[in-house]
Structure 1
Amino acid sequence: MTDKPTIGFIGVGLMGHGMARNILQAGYPLHIKGNRNRTPVDDLVGQGAVEAESPKAMAKACDIIHICLSNSPQVEEVMRGPDGILAGMKDGLIVVDATTADPTSTLALAAELAEKGGHMVDAPLGRTPKEAEDGTLDAMVGAEDAIFEKVKPLLDCWAGNINHVGPTGNGHKMKLLMNFISMGYASLYTEAVVLGAKVGITPQQVNQVIGSSRLSNGFFETFMRYAVGRDRDAHKFSIANASKDLRYVNAMAADAGVVNVMAAAARHYFAHVDAIGQGGDYVPMLSDHVARLNGIDMAEEVEKGKT
Structure 2
Amino acid sequence: MSAQKESIGFIGVGFMGQGMASCILAKGFPLTVMGHRNRKPVEELKAAGAQEAATPRELAEKASIIFLCVTGTPQVEAVVNGPDGIAAGAKPGTIIVDCSTSDPSSTVRLAAQLSAIGLHLCDAPLGGTPAQAALGQLSTMIGADSEVFARIKPVCDAWAQKVVHLGPVGDGHKMKLLNNFLSMGYGAIYSEALTLAQKIGITPQTFNSVISGGRMDCGFYQTFMQYVLQRDRDAHKFTLSNALKDVRYLETVANDAGVPNPVGNAVKNVYAQAVAAGKGDDFVPMLSDFVASQSRLSLADKG
Q: Could you say which TM-score interval applies, normalised by the shorter chain?
A: over 0.9
Q: Is the 8 Å Cα contact of residues 13 and 34 (structure 1) preserved in structure 2?
A: no
- Structure-2 residue corresponding to 1:289: 290
- Structure-1 residue corresponding to 2:222: 221
Letter of the structure 2 residue corresponding to residue 46 of structure 1: A
Distance 2:94 2:187 in 1: 39
List 4+ stretches of structure 1 deviating above 2 A.
none
- Structure-2 residue corresponding to 1:149: 150
- Structure-2 residue corresponding to 1:46: 47
Letter of the structure 1 residue corresponding to residue 222 of structure 2: E
Distance 2:213 2:49 in 1: 46
Q: Is the 8 Å Cα contact of residues 139 and 161 (structure 1) preserved in structure 2?
A: yes
Distance 1:170 1:223 in 2: 28
Distance 1:146 1:290 in 2: 47
User: Which of 226-235 and 137-146 deviates more?
Assistant: 226-235
Q: Is the 8 Å Cα contact of residues 103 and 173 (structure 1) preserved in structure 2?
A: yes
User: Which of 2-11 and 95-104 deviates more?
Assistant: 2-11
Q: Is the 8 Å Cα contact of residues 11 and 34 (structure 2) preserved in structure 1?
A: yes
Shift of 1:229: 2.2
Shift of 1:89: 1.5
Deviations 1:10-40 (A, max 9, x none): 0011100011111111111111013210000
- Structure-1 residue corresponding to 2:28: 27
Letter of the structure 2 residue corresponding to residue 269 of structure 1: V
Letter of the structure 2 residue corresponding to residue 86 of structure 1: A
Shift of 1:217: 1.4
User: 1:268 aligned to 2:269?
Assistant: yes
Deviations 1:137-156 (A, max 9, x none): 00000000111011110110
- Structure-1 residue corresponding to 2:252: 251
Letter of the structure 1 residue corresponding to residue 11 of structure 2: I
Describe the SS at the equivalent of 1:247: helix
Letter of the structure 2 residue corresponding to residue 156 of structure 1: D
Change (3 A) 1:27 1:258: same
- Structure-2 residue corresponding to 1:179: 180
TM-score by length of 1: 0.96
Describe the SS at the equivalent of 2:161: strand
Instruction: For structure 2, list consecutive stretches of 5 or more residues without a partner in the other structure.
Output: none
Distance 2:183 2:213 in 1: 20
Cα RMSD, aligned residues only: 1.1
Deviations 1:160-203 (A, max 9, x none): 01111100000000100000000000011111110111112111
Distance 1:92 1:243 in 2: 35
Describe the SS at the equivalent of 1:298: coil
Distance 2:235 2:18 in 1: 18
- Structure-1 residue corresponding to 2:121: 120
Distance 2:99 2:4 in 1: 24
Distance 1:234 1:28 in 2: 30
Shift of 1:224: 1.2
Letter of the structure 2 residue corresponding to residue 288 of structure 1: D
Distance 2:248 2:219 in 1: 24
Shift of 1:3: 5.4
Distance 1:220 1:31 in 2: 36
Describe the SS at the equivalent of 2:139: strand
Instruction: For structure 1, list consecutive stretches of 5 or more residues without a partner in the other structure.
Output: none
Q: Is the 8 Å Cα contact of residues 56 and 83 (structure 1) preserved in structure 2?
A: yes
Correspondences of 1:63-142 after superposition (within 5 Å): 63-142=64-143
Describe the SS at the equivalent of 2:278: coil
Describe the SS at the equivalent of 2:33: strand
Letter of the structure 1 residue corresponding to residue 74 of structure 2: P
TM-score by length of 2: 0.97
Q: Is the 8 Å Cα contact of residues 35 and 54 (structure 2) preserved in structure 1?
A: no
Describe the SS at the equivalent of 1:121: strand
Deviations 1:217-266 (A, max 9, x none): 11112111111222211111111110110110111111111111111100
Letter of the structure 1 residue corresponding to residue 132 of structure 2: E
Q: Report how many aligned residue pairs link the two structures.
A: 301
